[in-house]
Structure 1
């Protein structure tokens, strides 16, 4: 067991929990730390520790309460002192979709559960009644620059990264012009099997527990659909992707399928570009080289998405500036 610090111990005791019996959980890609409280071998609370008054903590609290009010299963907030960086939440346990899939669970059933949640969230009449910023051009381009700032110097050190960044960003600005204006959905932004859980005590959409949504914004509905079906961390077959897209659209009712699919492919390309930069940053800055194991998959997905989204100006520029870039990480050698 892990001893909590004095302030952490005071916080949990004020919420009715003993200060003893907390176990630190392994770190993930975020700067947050988590401690689990077990009683009689049963997990029942998580202590999240982060920076005081961190914007993403405040957003997490707002979005968690909003999702719960809409009937979705975000962790219940047991207590919070955002000014100290402490949040105590309901513990959903360990049954993430990733864990269940590794144990041989029915892949199609789990992914259909997840896509049903997105269809329900994007159809809910009150989903947009929350004060979040727009997923507009500024954050979309900020994410694009991660590729220029981290991937390019790591794998193409002879390229002028600043010049590449300027031209790359200008091309993406043109490509994202229309989708940056979408205000049609609460976008959770990290919707994939690592952040989804099965809650056996619930049914329907509430059976799917939601994690890691503090970066949520208001934007295009296609973003989270692409995040789920073109996962950076595990292979999803083309057949399953098509099945999930058809299921999603059938539940959404009348919609412009051609426009949605254009957004889907465009945002898939944007997301894969961002993730390529993030995975290199996690290795170099945060000392987490295991994320580079996924980089070859991300680059293959990006290459395909650029074609599917008809982003030839971007793909042509990348081919000229970064020769053979889709194979840059195939050797899985950690960049220096």
Structure 2
């Protein structure tokens, strides 16, 4: 038994789950690992997040408490070892939105409307002072992975001067569209991080996962994450319907919200191109390359929005279409 495995076993024993049957659960793009624990008639979820691989469970514990205190369905934390990086969490089940819609596409509208209603509640929560803030300048700089892990591997000769020029254009567009509006954002709010809990009431029916990277950002950020998902397609009709539903709930100006939505979408999708390239080339996870064509389509949709013509031109000057994705596979870099 490895040292980490031994420490994990000791944590479970201290928490009263030492005899539980342990079954691995699907993980995410991080170094975190999950297991479902079953002991008699109770279940829980183990999060194993090693600090020596850049993980820190303290934000999860803190954000979970904040969300739960306002009636949102983050999992309860039953036990925590913040030094070694182990959490014992409430088991919210397996009814992921993505899974439910795959099984029964007729439920898609109901689920996405519920998610929008949850986000409308979330935006009114107090924003913790210590949340990272997504300013226009910071968001512009976050596109940097797209150069090293997407554009250059695909053959672009993008220079440092080109990068700086695109940063400047992005910052200008974002400042114009998002201004200084900042709310509590989950950051990774999509169909594989949302669970349906029909036995609960109101917005508590939407279970929340993977929120430890929450930020203070424009409310359109979570809506882009939800509706322009890298992993699954939504029809433009449904996307527009859910945006309209959200705007009706919040009272936002529809035109201003959609302008911010398009600009943030362009920033997010460009960054994700680089993130997925890095997951493949650096971390040996080529399965993420399969999502890149969809992300590119989302990027082009956002850049086709009136008012983003200069941004579209600047992006296409240095960022190539995804037509040689074999170059983003680990064996291509060998």
Q: Return the TM-score normalized by structure 2.
A: 0.90
CA separation in 1, counterparts of 2:42 and 2:274? 38
1:2-21 correspondence runs (5 A): 5-21=5-21
Q: How many residues align?
A: 327
Does 1:249 find its partner at 2:247?
Answer: yes
CA separation in 1, counterparts of 2:262 and 2:26? 34
| Displacement of 1:231 | 1.2
CA separation in 2, counterparts of 1:56 and 1:44? 20
Give the equivalent residue in structure 1 for 2:63.
63
1:78-157 correspondence runs (5 A): 78-105=78-105, 106-122=107-123, 124=124, 126-129=125-128, 131-137=130-136, 139-157=138-156
2:51 is paired with a residue whose SS is coil
| Displacement of 1:113 | 1.2
**Alignment equivalent of 1:312, drawn from 309, 312, 334:** 309
RMSD: 2.4
CA contact (8 A) 2:134 2:216 kept: yes
CA contact (8 A) 1:53 1:82 kept: no
CA contact (8 A) 1:265 1:309 kept: no
CA contact (8 A) 2:247 2:253 kept: no
CA contact (8 A) 1:149 1:165 kept: no
2:72 is paired with a residue whose SS is coil
Does 1:299 find its partner at 2:302?
Answer: no
Deviation by residue 1:53-86 (Cα, 9 ceiling, x = unmatched): 9675222111110000010000111111111111
1:194 is paired with a residue whose SS is coil
Give the equivalent residue in structure 2 for 1:74.
74
| Displacement of 1:119 | 1.1
**Alignment equivalent of 2:222, drawn from 212, 221, 224:** 224
| Displacement of 1:230 | 1.2
**Alignment equivalent of 1:289, drawn from 275, 286, 290:** 286
| Displacement of 1:212 | 0.8
CA contact (8 A) 1:135 1:219 kept: yes
CA separation in 2, counterparts of 1:41 and 1:281? 42
CA separation in 2, counterparts of 1:155 and 1:332? 7
**Alignment equivalent of 1:173, drawn from 171, 184, 195:** 171
Change (3 A) 1:72 1:130: farther
2:133 is paired with a residue whose SS is coil
Moved over 6 A (4+): none
